[in-house]
Amino acid sequence: QYSPDNVAGADGDVDPTEITFPGCSCLTSSCVVRVCTCLCRGENYKNLCIKPTDKEEYARPIFECNAMCQCGESCQNRVVQRGLQFRLEVFKTVKKGWGLRTLEFIAKGRFVCEYAGEVLGFNEARRRIQAQTSKDSNYIIAVREHLHNGQIMETFVDPTYIGNLGRFLNHSCEPNLFMVPVRVDSMVPKLALFAATDISAGEELSYDYSGRFHNLPVTNREQRTSQEDNILKKPCYCGSHTCNSFLPWDSSLFS
C-alpha cells in the first residue's frame, strides 16, 4: 500500500500524525533566524538546499515550521513537508532487484524523498526482523539519535507493507544521498534524504544503510563488526571502489 507519509505501526506505540509542537507567531511570508522560534537553532535551508555542516560526524537537529505556525506555505523553513519535487522512476537493476533513479538533474543539498512507512516500537521491530528468513528483503530501518543528556532516541520505520518510493532505494558504500531526521509537527521524525552531491538525470539514487553521515569513511569499529558478522550479512553489489563487500547489518534487533 502506497503512503507518502509515515503511519502508525501495527503495535500502535507511536502516532506520527499527532501534532504536539507549538507553532511560531511569525506573520511574515518566510521566517527569520533569531526571530522565529522554529529557527532558534539556526537556519536549516538556503534556497531549498540543506545548509552544510562543516564535516560534522552527525546531522544536527532540523525543525521545520509546522501546522500550528502562522507563517505562510511559502516559508523557506518548509521543505521536507512539501514532499516530492523531482521526477523519480522505479526500475529493475541487474543484481540488486528494484532500484530508484532520477529523471532530472538534482543539485547538491536538495531534498529528494522521504523514507516513509510504519513507525514501530522496538519490540515490534525486533519481532518482524526475527520472523524474516534469509530470503526475505529487510526494509526496516533503525535510526538512533544521540541527545544532549546522553540518552539515545530510537525510531524504527518499516515500509514493507505500507510505504513510499524510498523503499526502493539501494545501499551504496559511496552513496549520492544522505539521511537526516527532520521534525515538523512532533518528535517523530521524517527520515529525509538529501543529495550529497550533484546528481545527473538517469543516475541511480542510493544511501548508506549504516547511517554514516555525508559519506564519511568506514570506522575501525564498523570494520571489526563486519568481520564478526559476515556469516549473517548479505553481499553488497554497489560496485564502488570502497565497497565493504557486505550490506550493513544491525545486530541489536537480533539480541
pLDDT tens per residue, range 63-79: 999 999 999 899 999 99
pLDDT in tens, 101-156: 999 999 999 999 999 999 999 999 999 998 988 778 889 999 999 888 889 999 99
Percentage, residues of the chain above pLDDT 90: 69
Tell me, what's the pLDDT at 221?
A: 47
124-133, 154-163, 183-192, range with the lowest pLDDT: 124-133
> What is the b/e burial string over 43-71, where b = at least 16 CB atoms within 10 angstroms of the residue's CB?
ebbeeeebeeeeeeeebebbbbbbeebeb
C-alpha cell at position 78 = 518548509
Question: Three-state SS for 28?
Answer: coil
- Delimit the domains of the chain by residue range: 7-22+84-211
Say how far apart CA 48 and CA 53 lie, in whole Å.
15
More confident call, 148 vs 158: 158
Tell me, what's the pLDDT at 216?
A: 61
What does the DSSP assignment read for 148-186?
A: TTS-EEEEEEE-SSSB-GGGGPEE-SS-SEEEEEEESSS
| Residue type present at position 198 | D
CA separation, residue 189 to residues 17, 18, 67, 168, 178 (Å) = 10, 12, 15, 20, 15
pTM here?
Answer: 0.91
Say how far apart CA 116 and CA 210 lie, in whole Å.
17
What does the DSSP assignment read for 87-135?
A: -EEEEE-SSSSEEEEESS-B-TTBEEEE---EEE-HHHHHHHHHH--TT
